[in-house]
Amino acid sequence: MSESLAWEIERLPTGIPGFDQVCSGGLPKNRSAIVAGTAGSGKTLMAMQFLHAGVKYFDEGGVFVTFEESPADLILNVKSFGWDIDELIRKKKIAVVDATPDPGENNIQAGAFDLAGLMARIENAARSVKAKRVILDAVGALFPQFSDSNLVRRELHRIAAGLRRLNLTIVMTMERLDEEGGIGRFGVEEYVADNVIILRNRLEQERRRRTIEILKFRGVVHQKGEYTFTIDRLDGITILPLSAIELKQGSTNKRVSSGIPELDGMCGGGMYRDSIILISGATGTGKTLTVTHYIKAAIEAGERAILFGSEESREQLTRNARSWGIDFEGAEKTGLLRIICRYPDVMGLEDHLLQMRRDIDDFKPARVAVDSLSAFELAGSRRSFREFVITLTSHLKHKEITGLITNTTPMLIGGESVTESHISTITDTIILLRYVELHGEMRRGLAILKMRGTQHQKDIREYLIDGEGMHIRDAFRGVHGIMTGTPTYMFTREREQLSDMFTAKPLSLDE
């Protein structure tokens, strides 16, 4: 197939969300692809979705050939996704070829034969719906029906070649016994398919993690490695391509207010419109308050905002906001705000991501807040969490939405958490909220760790929280090591000398 490298093979966009992105445009057209996976990995669903999406998005007819499950079962199984295959059969968009063995029937073999009968039936079905797509579900089930595996392999090869000549793109599903090792049981892939896709369903830290890998696309460029996917009632399979998302860096210089005037000042006049801001701090340092200010600023600017709550209920969030004089409920009524509270444990991270993406695409907010992001850490493996964070923040950036996400640090004083290390590269601004033990008192300090593309104050500033919210005061002077959690003090004289050296105006050290 070396000649195929010289020209680009035409693609057939599948319409399966995320899939075409991962395989650079779709399945190679008029070729056959094997989708292999263990029981319950989603092979049949993917094949059915390939067919259904073909009709739905491209008005391409399809044929399904089933070797194992009865057509009635297959149709029933995908009904829960809202796919009415019966209706599409009536409308002559989809045709069925039932190739399941009758129960109790055993074929007596008395002489030479081939599977031309099956081929003729598929061809007839394809003609009747002007098909562009064919799925052969569970080809492995064909083998036990006949004593000669070689013959079945050869015949499958002939069928695949015959269907290609009719300009049909073929998806065959095949069961694997385990996640690693050989692709299928009968060596079909060696003969039949130009393209092999593997679906996996692994248990990782007590969570199911579904992945898809394009093992080979003959003569075609595709993304390497495994991609997470999820199955849900609305879209069926959605693949969440991670590295396929292009990283678009902030290009705007429009600023938005954080809702705290002093903080805007420290950042040189507010946050960039399409930036991701991470607020990191221990419990009780005022992260949710910062979020509340930020949402309030959005409401006052007449911008739409979504607040994703993962630790507190909507009642708690609105009550807290009310105690700071901010009316979340009113803003929800006027359609500026949507509060969405989902506890991280209720579903997998892939599903959370899918839901959040849907909420964002549906509500089209200018700002999004996630309080807190770190609560999701325990809802999946380290790796899925990392993918979750990166994919979510990339989505926000892609849509040019300002994102404020909070991270709860495990230690009261100092410290860093996984969230910080995962997303520090993708965030544009990191704001640390820290407890500071000073002269036997717990006080709070705020620092801007980084802010991309602009000057910002490097001071660690003290802040107070009262009934009106957060107030940022002056910088701590004469103390080192606040961020590490072990502050040390300088002698007053030295301190004064130093501050004289660097600041012109005298500083008041006590508020």
300 counts as catalytic: no
- Our finding on whether 111 is near another protein (CB under 8 A) is yes
| Tokens describing residue 353 | 């991501």
Least distance to another protein, CB of residue 426, Å: 54
d(CA 103, CA 382): 47
CA distance 128 to 166: 13
* Cβ–Cβ < 8 Å for 287, 372: yes
Binding mask 55-84 for another protein (x = CB under 8 A): ------------------------------
**Phi, then psi, of 295 in degrees rounded to 5:** -65, -40
Q: Which of 1, 6, 108, 504 binds another protein (CB under 8 A)?
A: 108
Task: Determine contact, residues 288/259, Cβ cutoff 8 Å.
Answer: no
Which part of the chain contacts another protein (CB under 8 A), choosing from 115-123, 223-231, 447-455, 488-496? 115-123
Place of tokens 């709070």: 444
Pair of tokens at residue 236: 């069926």
Q: Which stretch binds another protein (CB under 8 A): 15-23, 101-109, 198-206, 422-430?
A: 101-109
- Residue 195 sits at the vertex; the CA angle it makes with 191 and 201, to the nearest 5 degrees, is 110
Sign of CA dihedral 193, 195, 199, 204: positive
Instruction: Identify the residue among 102, 206, 510, 511 touching another protein (CB under 8 A).
Output: 102
Residue carrying structure tokens 């996400």: 405
- Could you identify the residue written with the tokens 């990339």? 394
Residues numbered 81 to 100 that lie near another protein (CB under 8 A) are: 97-100
Confirm or reject binding of residue 117 to another protein (CB under 8 A).
yes
Binding characters for another protein, 191-230, by CB under 8 A (x = yes): ----------------------------------------
64 closest CA partner among 129, 115, 15, 14: 129
**436, 479 Cβ separation under 8 angstroms:** yes
**Active-site option among 68, 175, 189, 420:** 68
For another protein, which stretch binds (CB under 8 A), given 32-40, 110-118, 293-301, 364-372?
Answer: 110-118
**Where is 367: in which H helix or E strand?**
strand 367-371
Nearer to another protein, 74 or 125 (CB): 125
Candidate residues 20, 60, 68, 123; the one interacting with another protein per rule CB under 8 A = 123
Rg over CA atoms, the chain: 29
Per rule CB under 8 A, is residue 154 in the interface with another protein? Answer: no
Q: Is 116 in the site for another protein (CB under 8 A)?
A: yes
The reply on whether position 109 binds another protein by CB under 8 A is yes
Q: Which helix (H) or strand (E) holds 493?
A: helix 492-502
419: three-class secondary structure by DSSP: helix
Among 76, 120, 221, 498, binds another protein (CB under 8 A): 120
| 437 among known catalytic residues | no
Q: Residue 139 or residue 366: which is nearer to another protein going by CB?
A: 139
Binding mask 134-153 for another protein (x = CB under 8 A): --------x--xx-------
Shortest spacing between CB 32 and another protein, in angstroms:
18
Q: Are 232 and 238 in contact (CB under 8 A)?
A: yes
Answer yes or no whether residue 103 interacts with another protein by CB under 8 A. Answer: no
Catalytic residue among 60, 175, 311, 350: 311
Closest CB to another protein among residues 20, 68 = 68
Q: Is 489 in the site for another protein (CB under 8 A)?
A: no
Q: Which stretch binds another protein (CB under 8 A): 85-93, 122-130, 354-362, 487-495?
A: 122-130
Task: Give the tokens for residue 82.
Answer: 């809202």
Binding status of residue 105 toward another protein by CB under 8 A: yes
Output the smallest distance, CB 195 to another protein, in A. 25
DSSP structure string for 310-344: SSS-HHHHHHHHHHTT--HHHHHHTTSEEEEE--G
Please, what is the minimum distance in Å from the beta carbon of residue 121 to another protein?
5
Does 441 sit near another protein (CB under 8 A)? Answer: no
> SS3 string of 15-56?
CCCCHHHHCCCCEECCCEEEEEECCCCCHHHHHHHHHHHHHH
Q: Give dist(CA 356, CA 308) in Å, integer.
A: 8
Please, which residue, 158 or 399, has the CB nearer to another protein?
158
Give Cβ neighbours of residue 299 (< 8 Å, ≥ 6 apart): 305, 326, 331, 336, 337
Residue 104 or 467: which CB sits closer to another protein? 104
The residue (of 108 and 203) whose beta carbon lies closer to another protein is 108
Catalytically annotated residues: 68, 311
Please give the residue ranges that form the binding site for another protein (CB under 8 A).
97-100, 102, 105, 107-121, 123-125, 142, 145-146
